[in-house]
Chains A and B, each alone.
Chain A
């Protein structure tokens, strides 16, 4: 019955949302539509109550206005009326709680998942670990610095694009275990009706079963520092076979990368690759020009570490420095990337150490 009513109501609401939308998303999962229906049902209950209460109020104000000679009553209490206006709202609240509880129970039922993925928030990127497969990667913002600084036109997915999207299969129950490595973040994909805080030391759970392949976008939705607006979520939902292929590719890539690490690189190759790594993973703090931000992030230009002993330089990147925003990059970057960014920092931004390091020499 309530389903039929909300369906009818949401049909009326659709044409209005064609061009611009102020209502919440209906989303692309059975659960997100259930949440949407619940939201519409309760919204219309509120509208009816609002119209009734304010209707009576405005009517009374107008009808019994002073200029018409209205004189106010002076009675103190009326137990019957008071009981009525206490009991009716209680009944309405309880009636609304019943479907709401049903939906909540569904949202919290993370049992019998087909795929399990740990989602970890970092300043300022997401890490996805597939618990049943040996897949583990970071998802960084892919929007170019030029677009951010208004030096290039902004593309339609501005700040909503990443290098490695999360990939999940269609029509499978995917369970997310959401946590954080540093501060509180929040993983939000509006079309999935999933929005869960990522809290260090805690694991929050959520799940999704998407019915249509496609690309769905979201954002970090808990203020988490300087680049909070620059750590979007992109989820690619693939058909079953495509997903299997992606998993196989992912594993092949991992093998290939292990092979890469034992190759010999020239200094120029390392610097070229290092520039890309730096802009993607370091420039947010140390700045694209390597000057850092005084008082917060040290400059790389003339840094005693970046122009000092090679081992110390590698160490601060691999292991980070605890208690500071300088995080350990050993999980995030391959040996090749670390060798490349070290070499780049030593030979760019005015530094000219002239030395370089091979990936095979990086101890993680």
Chain B
């Protein structure tokens, strides 16, 4: 469980483009690729949903 949370946090900060050197080192040394890949896919989907939601919001603003 802790490993998954760390992976999600790591991917989230990668999206933001911000990460401390210590955390990055930890992720690369202790992390498993498969866990990061799954977390990456899920967060990509979440990101797309947010963009989609924002567009819908903008469209409501139009009407």
Contact = CB atoms under 8 A, between A and B. Distances in A.
A97 B56 CA distance: 12
Interface residues of A, number: 15
A12 interface: no
Interface in B5-63: 16-21, 54-55, 57-59, 61-62
B59 A86 contact: no
A86 B18 contact: yes
Contacts, number: 31
Contact of B59 (A76, A99, A105): A105
Chain B interface extent, by class:
10 to 19
A112 interface: no
Given A83-B16, A97-B58, 8 more contacts: A77-B20, A79-B18, A79-B20, A86-B17, A94-B54, A101-B59, A101-B61, A102-B62
Minimum-distance CB pairs A-B, first 5: A101-B58, A82-B18, A102-B62, A105-B62, A98-B58
B18 A101 contact: no
Contacts of B16: 83, 86-87
Nearest to B17: A86
Contacts of A83: 16, 18
A105 B20 CA distance: 41
Contacts of B59: 101, 105
A311 to B, nearest CB: 60
9 contacts: A77-B21, A83-B16, A83-B18, A98-B57, A98-B61, A101-B61, A102-B58, A105-B59, A106-B62
Nearest to B18: A82
A87 B20 CA distance: 16
Nearest to B57: A98
Contacts of A105: 59, 62
Contacts of B57: 98
B21 A101 contact: no
Contacts of A102: 58, 61-62
A105 B63 CA distance: 10
Contact of A101 (B17, B19, B62): B62
A35 to B, nearest CB: 15
A101 B51 CA distance: 13
A76 B21 contact: yes
Interface in A83-126: 83, 86-87, 94, 97-99, 101-102, 105-106
A252 to B, nearest CB: 44
B36 to A, nearest CB: 19
B18 to A, nearest CB: 4
Nearest to B58: A101
A106 B20 CA distance: 44
